[in-house]
Amino acid sequence: MRRCRTSKPCKSSTTKVQEETKRVAGVNVTLSWPTKKNDNSSTTSSQPKGVVFLLPGAMISLSEYKGLRDAILEKNHLVVGLFMNVLWPLSTNNHRIHARDVKKVFDELLSMYAHLPNSYMVCGHSVGGKIALLLASIIDPKRVSAVLALDPVDLNPIEFTNRKGSNLPLLDDDIENTATNDSIGPLAFFSGDGHADIVHVVVKGTDEHQVISKEAEKEENKRIPIILTCSDGGLGIPKAHNAEAIHNLHPATVFYRHAHAGHMAYCDNGGGAAGMLMPDVGTKEGNEKARESARDLIRQILGS
């Protein structure tokens, strides 16, 4: 477990964000484009280095995540925001439907904007964090480049924190045997490469009997950062299915504990109307530190 690292509070962005709301692949999305300053002090859209899907908590407006959005834009990435309506469509697994929507939206964006890279990061809060994990593990694992799950909640249904039986398609290998097979969990394994904070997912994309080159094997076995954060929680969030529980069952994931912060700490203004249904268990200072730590984690993942 890691305690969050904090930095000085960031200044609010004075640059007008270039946003557009449109329907992409049948889904309403908000596109926030990185900008650059011109010689005459005006701003125009710049070609993004990458794409980040920003997935809010259940029924929380995207306007509550401008701080996270701006941290992504700082790193010259396109932000794609989706509203997480957990009441629709009616389904026994609404979360997977939303995860498939993300995949469909990215497919369509690639056809609309030829300059976009063929992979994307997902930053999600609460149910958005769980959907981010679903994308990395079973829905679109070959194209997810990184995951930051902020206080994810594994409920309705339980898919990562089953204590008995399997966690759906995410089956842990025997950790004692990891010296020979490298795998230490359904979400990740330590590669020994890169920054110590980075833990990777292995996505096996080829038949085990197929003869492939080392270069192709490296491409097929992609490794991506999986980072979880955990607050002090809130109403309706059982500890048996929070981020710490996910981490305990998938111990190779990176885990940050945000003490004295409530579940809505990652929102700019307490989660709006949705936040009124969940009493804040965090302190003002704890919430501010968790919020800034989340922004710092985004900056670290996206790099320079």
Spell out the per-residue pLDDT of the chain, length 304, in tens.
655 444 444 444 445 789 999 999 999 999 999 998 665 556 677 899 999 999 999 999 999 999 999 999 999 999 999 999 988 777 777 899 999 999 999 999 999 999 999 999 999 999 999 999 999 989 998 999 999 999 999 999 999 998 876 664 333 343 333 322 333 334 433 333 333 333 334 444 434 334 445 555 555 555 678 899 999 998 889 999 999 999 888 877 889 999 999 999 999 999 887 777 777 789 999 999 999 999 999 999 999 5
Q: Rounded to whole angstroms, how far apart are CA atoms 304 and 298?
A: 11
Which among 204, 248, 249, 243 is positioned nearest to 227, based on CA atoms? 243
The pair of three-digit structure tokens given for residue 24, joined into one six-digit string: 């992409």
Please give the model's pTM, rounded to 2 decimal places.
0.80
The DSSP code for 303 is: -
Place of tokens 């930053």: 123
3-class DSSP state for residue 296? helix
Q: Rounded to whole angstroms, how far apart are CA atoms 231 and 282?
A: 8
Burial of 10 (0-12, 13-18, 19+ CB in 10 A): middle
The pair of three-digit structure tokens given for residue 8, joined into one six-digit string: 């000085």
Which among 138, 141, 200 is positioned nearest to 167, based on CA atoms? 138
